[in-house]
Amino acid sequence: MHLGIKPLDESNLAIEPSLASNAITLRLRGSCDAFAVTPLGGYLTCVFAEMERTGCTKVTFDIRGLCLLNSSCLKQFITFLHRLRSLDTDTKYAVDFVVDVKLGWQSRALAAFVRMCPDIVSVLRVGANDSETHAG
């Protein structure tokens, strides 16, 4: 199976998708600022459609490369999560966010996602030695 979504390189935001073991991984770099809201929203819509097309039940957003994630971009992720939760299916979805343990703002920004969707969302803190610490 191949991935039907392409990399994004728009304004100050880049997203690199990959597919392995029935899971989509998206590496985000740059800035999720006001200029990234529309491209990010459109991209997340494509990711949702790709999950439906491929039957993928897991998506990982690696945001360690982000220097900013504003509230308008957070709302785009909330819309994506809401769409997953709204599916009338018995399928169990998983959404992981990989954050840099040294950038505390990343974990704090995503805390509401874990509270909103504790059955779907996990935040994985990655330290200097790349060992993961699970939270939520």
pLDDT at 62: 98
Domains in the chain, CATH or no CATH each:
8-135 (3.30.750.24)
H, E, C per residue of the chain: CCCCCCCEEECCEEEEEEEECCEEEEEEEEEECHHHHHHHHHHHHHHHHHHHHHCCCEEEEEEEEEEEECHHHHHHHHHHHHHHHHCCCCCCCEEEEEEECCCHHHHHHHHHHHHHCCCCEEEEEECCCCCEEEEC
Q: What is the pLDDT along the chain (136 residues), one digit of tens a residue?
A: 688 999 999 879 999 999 988 899 999 999 999 999 999 999 999 999 999 999 999 999 999 999 999 999 999 999 999 999 887 778 889 999 999 999 999 999 999 999 999 999 999 999 755 655 555 5
Give the predicted TM-score (pTM) of the model. Answer: 0.91
**Tell me, what's the pLDDT at 79?**
97
